[in-house]
């Protein structure tokens, strides 16, 4: 009953306010406190609504602006990555052209036939130190042929397929090449030491060998042309229990950086 009376009073108050507001609207010159209050409230509400809408519009514009910046930055990053990749490709192609031109110049200087090949695999830490190249029997590659670059001898072909071949490099323990010391013409056997170096074997203690002496291929035993660079003497030691010197040789070739090589395929007899 009490709640019913409350609703009734509220309804009567709303009717009274509606009648009074209608009267005030009909006779604006007789504006009273209620109209003023209503106008005050509505102006405040309008101002609040306008401010809220302006805030919402500002936030939305900032969102669109920031979203556009994010998208633009994403596109700029993608463009930058593409440009960096292109620059790297052009630089790699430039460096490759320099290497190939050097190899071609070296190839043209030789008096025997050679086949150029790319190194497609390295195995420098296994039981056998080898390289794989992308040329094989179809290109005239045969077992035993010597492989060179402009710095010197890389090694010899030990296995072939139709379009690939494997090279045993000179530092492998199984590599033995007949060699000579350039200043004295003393002959020995260059054997791989397996750790990036070689030893010149069979050099008796009476022979004169100095650090810095150049070691060349001898051309004997049909192993390849005479006079190809093998390495330089790094150290000479006298072994008290042997009649031979311990001669350590550093190869001229850096096998870790090889990318292209030449395989000697033609007849070299009498060329050097």
Encode the chain (272 residues) as per-residue pLDDT tens digits.
655 566 566 566 555 555 555 555 555 555 555 555 555 545 544 455 556 666 777 777 777 677 776 677 777 777 777 766 667 766 766 666 776 677 667 677 778 889 999 999 999 887 889 999 999 999 999 999 999 999 999 999 999 999 999 999 999 999 999 999 999 999 999 999 987 899 999 999 999 999 999 999 998 877 789 999 999 999 999 888 889 999 999 999 999 989 999 999 976 654 43
User: What distance in Å separates the CA atoms of residue 58 and residue 266, rounded to the nearest whole number?
Assistant: 81
Which residues span the domain enclosing 60? Answer: 34-109
Residues 99 and 120 in one domain: no
Q: What is the pLDDT of residue 272?
A: 38
Residues 133 and 257 in one domain: yes
Residues 147 and 59 in one domain: no
Q: What is the pLDDT of residue 7?
A: 58
CB within 8 Å of 161: residues ≥ 6 apart: 136, 137
| CA neighbor of 217 nearest in space, from 185, 261, 265, 174 | 185
Domain membership flag for residue 206: yes
Asked if 225 contacts 217 with a C-beta cutoff of 8 angstroms, the reply is yes
Residues 138 and 241 in one domain: yes
Q: What is the pLDDT of residue 133?
A: 95
Residues 42 and 72 in one domain: yes
Q: What is the pLDDT of residue 14?
A: 56
Name the residue with tokens 């709640």.
3
User: What distance in Å separates the CA atoms of residue 118 and residue 63, rounded to the nearest whole number?
Assistant: 55
Which domain-ending residue is among 62, 81, 109? 109
Domain with 189 in it: what CATH number? Answer: 2.40.10.340
Which domain-ending residue is among 109, 138, 173? 109
Residues 73 and 207 in one domain: no
pTM: 0.66
Residues 103 and 119 in one domain: no
Residues 77 and 118 in one domain: no
Domain membership flag for residue 8: no
Q: What is the pLDDT of residue 252?
A: 94
Residues 249 and 139 in one domain: yes
DSSP track, 91-142: HHHHHHHHHHHHHHHHHHH-SS-EEEEEEEEEE-SSSS-EEEES--GGGT--
Q: What is the pLDDT of residue 247?
A: 96
Q: What is the pLDDT of residue 271?
A: 43
Query: For the chain, how many structural domains are there in total?
Result: 2
Asked if 164 contacts 135 with a C-beta cutoff of 8 angstroms, the reply is yes
């Amino acid at each position: 009953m009490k709640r019913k009376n409350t609703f009734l009073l509220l309804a009567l108050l709303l009717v009274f306010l509606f009648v009074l507001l209608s009267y005030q609207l009909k006779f604006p010159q007789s504006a009273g406190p209620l109209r003023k209050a209503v106008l005050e409230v509505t102006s405040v509400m309008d101002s609040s609504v306008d401010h809220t809408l302006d805030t919402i519009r500002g936030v939305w514009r900032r969102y669109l602006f920031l979203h556009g910046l994010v998208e633009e930055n994403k596109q700029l990053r993608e463009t930058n990555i593409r440009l960096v990749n292109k620059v790297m490709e052009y630089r790699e192609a430039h460096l490759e052209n320099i290497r190939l031109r050097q190899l071609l110049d070296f190839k043209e200087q030789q008096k025997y036939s050679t086949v150029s090949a790319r190194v497609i695999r390295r195995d420098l830490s296994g039981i056998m130190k080898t390289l794989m190249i992308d040329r094989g029997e179809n290109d005239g590659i045969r077992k035993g042929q010597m492989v060179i670059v402009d710095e010197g001898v890389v090694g010899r072909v030990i296995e072939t397929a139709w379009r690939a071949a494997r090279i045993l490099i000179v530092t492998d323990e199984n590599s033995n090449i007949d060699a000579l010391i350039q200043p004295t013409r003393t002959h020995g056997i260059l054997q791989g030491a397996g750790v990036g170096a070689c030893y010149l074997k069979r050099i008796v203690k009476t022979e004169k060998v100095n650090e810095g002496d150049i070691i060349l291929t001898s051309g004997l035993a049909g192993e390849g042309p005479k006079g190809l660079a093998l390495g330089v003497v790094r150290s000479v030691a006298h072994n008290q229990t042997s009649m031979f010197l311990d001669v350590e040789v550093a190869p001229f070739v850096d096998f870790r950086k090889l990318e292209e090589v030449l395989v000697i395929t033609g007849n070299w007899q009498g060329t050097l």
